[in-house]
Amino acid sequence: MLYKKSIPQIIQEARESGKHTLKRTLTSSGLVSLGVGAIIGAGLFSLTGIAAAENAGPAVILSFIIAALACSFAGLCYAEFASMIPVAGSAYTYSYATMGEFMAWIIGWDLVLEYALASATVAVSWSQYFNELLMTFGLSISPEFLRGPWEGGYVNIPAITIVCLLSLLLIRGTKESSTVNNLLVILKVGVVLIFIVLGWSFIDSSNHVPFVPTNEGEEMVKNGDMSLWSFLHSEHFGEFGISGILRAAGVLFFAFIGFDAVSTAAQEAKNPKRGMPIGIIGSLIICTLLYVLFSYVMTGLENYKSFEGDAKPVATAFANTGYTFLNTALIVTIIAGYTSVILVMLLGQSRVFYSMSKDGLLPKIFSDLSKNQTPWKTNLIFMVFVSLFAGFVPISDLGHMVSIGTLFAFTLVCIGVLVLRKTNPEIERPFRTPLVPLVPILGIIVCLILMASLPIESWERLAIWLIIGIAIYWFYSRKHSRVRQSHRKL
């Protein structure tokens, strides 16, 4: 269970695969686009209003910066690994090199929660916006076919349809998928920029005053009327003030999730040692700049209080500009954002299982490549798996499982950097995480704090999922592990 794969061994195996390896077609700009495609979804359009109305007010701008800083800790750790181990598999492969086979299996199994279920989660929301777009043309889909049986419907047909179409696109080829993703990224970034540019001249500076709304509990602590401990456990914590900015940062952290999907495509990058750090860090920087500018304009167009309970805060803010004709364009952009997220997450999941199959931990079917050098059987299997979840499972249950799976993966990658710096300090690192051990330790702390804030049901589902994974490992994977078999021969 503690057998490890050395980094030279991992790289050598990837080189020796010959025709049975993934095709290197992604440039540095393509990797950045992949990251932006995974990060910018409808979270930008919905979470900004929620965080401003309930937690931070106009200071939601600072919350985005803090959330980006928190993500950057994990992002820098991912960048070091991705440049050092330029093969598919992401956190799974990194764990194999640092913490051994069993932990690698656990993280690979856990990544299903992030990539596959994230695809299902986003597909459910995609279906709602798709129906809204149809309504602008006088058409609509019956509610029974927009919800699963647990929500009073039959099945979510649009969600299943988009998952199937994007899975078939991935089977077609990575280059073709990247081209579609680039077009979707251009579309959604273009509309975000239009919103910023057109809205800027309509900003009412009075909407940014006070920039940090007063928190009643913080004032009581300052005046000595409440202890800090009592405040931390009171209903006042997180309702504006400094604590509100921090809580909003926790909410907005999930608007950045997706940059790690870039690392799953390392084996398809033309120059991974240079391109992977650029793709991961570059996409984080671009999205942070867009998020900060977007939130500044949004809270300047409309008072933050008006976003409370508003399902379409962007439309509410944009109504003050007179450019209401762009509301349909915003819906199209949200759909484009969702589509690119689903596409990248499905790609990431298939690449993780491809790597696990190459190591013998999963059946060979998951690493079979088509003539276009894509793991087409894996794509088909996950097309069915993700479609079932998207068509029948409530979105709230899916969302929490995605969050805890992602944070768990981030934590192990940060731990991995610390372990490898200690055990293999001499290995070439084209990109080095700065300020080690501070940056990885901060990444671990942030992720654990955010995991602790999730509902107990998320932990229970994670435990059940891991128990299933451990059973598969015990009865199948350890018996077919290529690393274990090579050790037996020795």
Tell me the per-residue pLDDT of 53-93, one tens digit each, with 9 for 90 and over.
888 889 999 988 888 888 888 888 888 887 777 766 667 87
Eight-class DSSP state of 26 = B
Angle (CA) 31-36-42 rounded to 5° is: 155
Report the SS3 class of residue 197.
Answer: helix
What average pLDDT score do residues 190-199 get? 85
In the predicted structure, residue 328 carries a pLDDT above the cut 70:
yes
Helix boundaries (H) for 259-307: 272-301
CB 335 within 8 A of CB 126: yes
Residue 86: both structure tokens together: 């330029």
**Which one is predicted more confidently, 181 or 16?**
181
Helix or strand run (H / E) with residue 131:
helix 101-135
Those residues with Cβ within 8 angstroms of residue 330's Cβ, 6 or more apart along the chain or in another chain: 45, 191, 195, 314, 315, 318
Confidence of residue 11 (pLDDT cuts 50, 70, 90): low
In the predicted structure, residue 358 carries a pLDDT above the cut 80:
yes
CB atoms within 10 A of CB 140: 11
Eight-class DSSP state of 431 = S
Mean pLDDT computed over every residue of the chain = 81
Eight-class DSSP state of 214 = P
Eight-class DSSP state of 269 = B
Dist. CA 448–CA 407, nearest whole Å: 8
The type of residue at 381 is I
pLDDT score at 309: 66
Report the SS3 class of residue 417.
Answer: helix
Residue whose entry in the numeric block shows the structure tokens 């290995």: 427
Dist. CA 252–CA 248, nearest whole Å: 6
Dist. CA 419–CA 146, nearest whole Å: 47
| CA-to-CA dists, residue 487 to 102, 355, 364, 479, 481, angstroms | 15, 19, 20, 12, 10
Dist. CA 94–CA 97, nearest whole Å: 5
Confidence of residue 5 (pLDDT cuts 50, 70, 90): low
| CA-to-CA dists, residue 412 to 4, 86, 102, 118, 484, angstroms | 15, 18, 13, 19, 22
Buried (b) or exposed (e) across 404-426, using 16+ Cβ within 10 A? bbbbbbbbbbbbbbbbbbeeeee
Distance in Å from the first CA to the final CA of the chain: 17
- Lowest-confidence region among 6-20, 129-143, 393-407: 6-20
In a 13 Å sphere around the CA of 80, the CA atoms on its Cβ side amount to: 25
Spell out the CATH class of 7-489: mainly alpha
In the predicted structure, residue 25 carries a pLDDT above the cut 80:
no
Residue 373: both structure tokens together: 């050098």
pLDDT score at 454: 67
Residue whose entry in the numeric block shows the structure tokens 């069915």: 384
Dist. CA 447–CA 71, nearest whole Å: 9
pLDDT score at 311: 55
Domain residues of the chain, as ranges? 7-489
Those residues with Cβ within 8 angstroms of residue 430's Cβ, 6 or more apart along the chain or in another chain: 83, 84, 273, 274, 277
Estimate the crossing angle of helix 28-39 against helix 174-200, to 10 degrees.
60
Dist. CA 56–CA 42, nearest whole Å: 20
In the predicted structure, residue 22 carries a pLDDT above the cut 70:
no
In angstroms and rounded to an integer, the radius of gyration of the C-alpha atoms of the chain is 23
Tell me the per-residue pLDDT of 424-440, one tens digit each, with 9 for 90 and over.
888 888 888 899 899 99
CB 408 within 8 A of CB 109: no
Eight-class DSSP state of 238 = T
β-bridge partners, 269:
26
Helix boundaries (H) for 325-437: 326-358, 376-392, 395-423
CB 280 within 8 A of CB 263: yes
Tell me the per-residue pLDDT of 120-173, one tens digit each, with 9 for 90 and over.
888 888 888 888 889 888 888 998 898 888 778 899 999 999 999 999 988 887
